[in-house]
Amino acid sequence: MSDLPGIVVTGATGRMGQMLVKTVVQSGKARLVGAIEHEGSAALGQDIGVICGLGPLGVPVQSDPLPSFARAQAVIDFTTPAATLGFAALAAQARAVHVIGTTGLSEAEIEQLAPAAHHAVIIRAGNMSLGVNLLTQLTKKVAAALDADYDIEVIEAHHNQKVDAPSGTALMLGEAAAEGRGVSLKDVSDSGRDGITGARKRGDIGFSAIRGGDIVGEHDVMFAAMGERIILRHIASDRSVFARGALKAALWGQDKSPGQYDMIDVLGLAGA
């Protein structure tokens, strides 16, 4: 067991963090060597296995990531943009693969990841599931095949505790659609509609966000023209799909050269 890659989970006591802990422990492909939470968390010092209902694992929840990162081969990080930037620097120092599922990163924050990628593998994606990444590729192909007579709308739904909108997955799908059309998303993005907005601009890519209940994640990409609509859809009913994808990424990155990658690379879909 000791020769299996050691993995640290940040934000370990949140809903996604606990799912990641369970996935790593139950996989038989990796070892959990650290569980990180923010300073002041009530969980500090407690065994993460007990918190997750797995029984004692001998891995206490800690706020200082350095000791855990130093003995890890990978860090799986679904936290906040500010926390992720700090973890990126530390993971690079430890030469650990940094799998980033954090959403809401601005373009400036994404650029700040570049120095860390000179020293370690960074795998970042708005969504870690196989299905969503296949949907991304399909979106790009359909957008390339249809002209601007087809309005593109990305419609996403998540639970009522999600703090960012549009979701990282929605933006990833929007980027794929824009790439398919040979345009920059920032030039054609249309979101946050309210009030008298006027007619839709030809060629824009729209975003609609729904928040409610315990929705895990639903994404539609709609291509709407006069007389017809094409809808590509992905529904996630369990967070385990994201956790399995993140673990796959952490293991895939073990023998890769430093740099920035995404799930399209992990799944071998680049150029598909």
Q: What domains are there in the chain, each with its CATH number?
A: 6-124+239-266 (3.40.50.720), 130-236 (3.30.360.10)
pLDDT at site 206: 97
Dihedral of CA atoms 110, 116, 122, 127 in degrees, nearest 10, equals: -20
The dihedral through the CA atoms of 46, 52, 56, 61 has a sign that is negative
Q: Which positions ≥6 away from 204 have C-beta within 8 Å?
A: 151, 152, 188, 189, 190
Q: Tens place of pLDDT for every residue, the chain, 272 residues?
A: 568 999 999 999 999 999 999 999 999 999 999 999 999 999 999 999 999 999 999 999 999 999 999 999 999 999 999 999 999 999 999 999 999 999 889 999 999 999 999 999 999 998 898 899 999 999 999 999 999 999 999 999 999 999 889 998 999 999 999 999 999 999 999 998 889 989 999 999 999 999 999 999 999 999 999 999 999 999 999 889 999 999 999 999 999 999 999 998 998 877 65
Take residue 266 and report the two structure tokens written for it: 């992990």
**Alpha-carbon 253 to chain mean position:** 16
Annotated catalytic residue within 29, 38, 119, 162: 162
pLDDT tens-digit map of 168-185: 899 999 999 999 999 999
Q: How far apart are CA 258 and CA 92, in angstroms?
A: 9
Q: Is 158 a catalytic residue?
A: yes
pLDDT at site 104: 84
First to last CA, the chain: 36
Annotated catalytic residue within 22, 158, 219, 234: 158
Q: Shortest CA distance to 117 belongs to which of 262, 272, 267, 264?
A: 262
